Structures are given as structure tokens and as C-alpha cells.
Amino acid sequence: MKNILVTGGAGFIGSNFINYMLNHRDDFNIVNLDKLTYAGNLANLTNVVNHKNYTFVKGDICNTDLVDYIFNKYNIEYVINFAAESHVDRSILGSEIFFKSNVLGTNTLLEAAKRYRIKKFVQISTDEVYGSLGPAGKFTEQTPLSPNSPYSSSKASADMMALAFYHTYDVPVVITRCSNNYGPYQFPEKLIPLMIINSMNNKKLPVYGDGLNVRDWVYVLDHNRAVEQVLESGKLGEVYNIGANREMKNIDIVKLILSQLNKSEDLIEFVKDRPGHDRRYAIDSSKIQNELGWKPKYAFEEAISQTINWYIENENWWRNILSAEYLEYYEKQYELR
């Protein structure tokens, strides 16, 4: 058995990862450390809560004593650090918590990884650290870091600290940089679930700017299959880009959602652009494909359609997590535009 600490495992990607791993592997004990911010939701993990290889600890990755206790008590040999503040718009409203959780939190985990001489530390990063592309080209692992939002800057800082721990202390770090994910359990502040839920509620769909910004979409399980592969055979000190070669303009995603839900395009409302809005992201994932043999498995048309159906069928899930705090944030943000 391998003992693995998964942080942020109650969030969108982390909970999909834990569900996926415990469903098809029996050689991992997973300890999930999550602070349960607005984005963390234990309902994402109801299928595994009683699994013999699963333990949940509520807490902050910035808490050195707690992190130390966990590494010691559970003999942690592997870390996958999903925990982060993850929403660009929130980082524009207030950057401090992004610095704390994403930079200082990663640093706390790296320090513990150094003390306990673990076998591998997978830092879950993002393609947003590379900044914004023009109409041509793709991000490779050699693209210089050029983050534009407080969110992406905090992720880039964490990446650099992780690589510094590899070079300076031989901490066995590997970094993944994935493009935009979609799938079940994504908090409805992000484009796809927000647009699905607003459509279902016949609320306006706020499209920023001209709606022509491009994101490169990957199904969350393909991302998690890649993380599993990197955990298994990723080379230490390396960075791996992850993406499924599926660029879409925001407006086309919104129209696709409306069409599947049989709703009118009159619901679309063009609103003031996000400050510093990155124009285009596109990932070259040939390194992970050639070196580790990973490739995306889920076709966009089918996976997006299943994702939309998941939100239709799981109305209880999203109604329960839309707290008063979130609705207040949403209205505040909306009024700013």
C-alpha cells in the first residue's frame, strides 16, 4: 500500500480524483486534507466516505503543525497538491487569500515533504501561468511564465517554489499544468456550471467582453488520468502540460449549453469584460503523450453533453451548495459589471 496525501480533495478536481482512484485502485491509502472553503463540499465524496482506504481531515495546508501531524501519523510517502483558491474573478476582488493558500500553503507542504523525505510531490498547476496567447501557437513547457491575474500569479509562484525545492533540497517534485476542466462537481461560479444553472433558472447568462476569448477544454477524468500517470511515472523536476486539444470560444460554449437545454439565446447578456482577461489558452500536450503515453480518452461532444445532464439530474447537489455567502458574492460581482 502507498500512503498518499491528497489536498483539496473536497473540491471539483480533487474529489473527482479521489472517486476515480478509489474506484479502480486498491493499492493506495488516501488521506484527504481540505479546509472546506466555499468550494469544498463533502457531498462530492459520499461514494467513498466509508471506504477502508480513505481518511478525511478538515484543515488548512498552511497549518504547519497539522501538516506535520498528518505526515507523521499516516506515514505520507506521496503528495498531490490540488488545494488552492481557484477562481480568477475572486482573485480580482481580493488577492490575499490566494497568496496565503496557493503560495504559503504549497510552501508549508514542501517543507514537510523535505522533512519527511517523501517519494513524490505532484504540484497541480495550471496553463494560466503562461499568460495569454494571440490567435496562433500553443503553450509548451518551455513557454516563459507570464501570469496576468492574482490567481495565476499565485500559481506561478507556487510552481517556482516547488522547483526551487527540487533543485535545492532534492524534494521529488513534478508539476502538471492543465487547461480548463469541465465535469461533475464543479462549483457553479466557473463558466460551464454557471451557464447551465442560470439557464435552468431562466436567469441571464453573463458573457464577458465580446465572448470571443478561447479556452482549451479537457474533461476532468482525462486530467485525473494524467495526474495518475504523472504520480506513477512522471520524471522528477519536470513539468507536464495536460490538454485535450479542444479550443472553444466562450460564446460557442454558452450557445451549446442553451441549445442542449432548449433555451433561447435571448438569455445571453454581454457584460463588462473581466479586467486583465486572458484572450486565449491552448495547450501543447505532446510531452506527456510522448514520454508517459497518456492521451485524452473522452470526446468533447459526448463528455460535455453528459456533464450538462449531470447538472440537470443533480439539482439537489447544486441547490445545497449555493450558500447565502455565495449568492451575495455573485450579486456583488454582477453589480460591479
**Beta pairing, strands 247-249 & 268-271:** unpaired
Determine contact, residues 214/208, Cβ cutoff 8 Å.
no
Per CB under 6 A, 88 contacts ligand TYD: yes
Per CB under 6 A, 14 contacts ligand TYD: no
Q: Is residue 127 among the annotated active site residues?
A: yes
Question: From the CB of 134, what's the least distance to ligand TYD, in Å?
Answer: 15
Quick one: which of 125, 246, 131 has its CA closest to 177? 125
Per CB under 6 A, 178 contacts ligand NAD: yes
Partner touching 13 among ligand TYD, ligand NAD, none, CB below 5 to 8 Å by kind: ligand NAD
Q: Which residues pair with 206 in a beta bridge?
A: 269
- Sequence-ordered alpha helix ranges (H) in the chain: 12-24, 64-73, 88-93, 96-98, 105-116, 150-169, 191-200, 220-233, 250-260, 286-292, 300-313, 315-321, 324-336
Per CB under 6 A, 43 contacts ligand NAD: no
Closest to ligand TYD by CB, 37 vs 250, is 250
Alpha-carbon torsion, ordered 132, 107, 124, 145, to 10 deg: 20
- The CB-nearest residue to ligand NAD is 11
Per CB under 6 A, 222 contacts ligand NAD: no
Per CB under 6 A, 187 contacts ligand NAD: yes
Per CB under 6 A, 183 contacts ligand NAD: no
Determine contact, residues 88/129, Cβ cutoff 8 Å.
no
| Count of residues of this chain found to bind ligand TYD when the rule CB under 6 A is applied | 12
Out of 54, 130, 151, 298, the active site residue is 151
Binding site for ligand TYD (CB under 6 A): 88, 180, 190-191, 194, 206-208, 213, 215, 250, 274
Q: Which positions are annotated as active-site residues? A: 127-128, 151
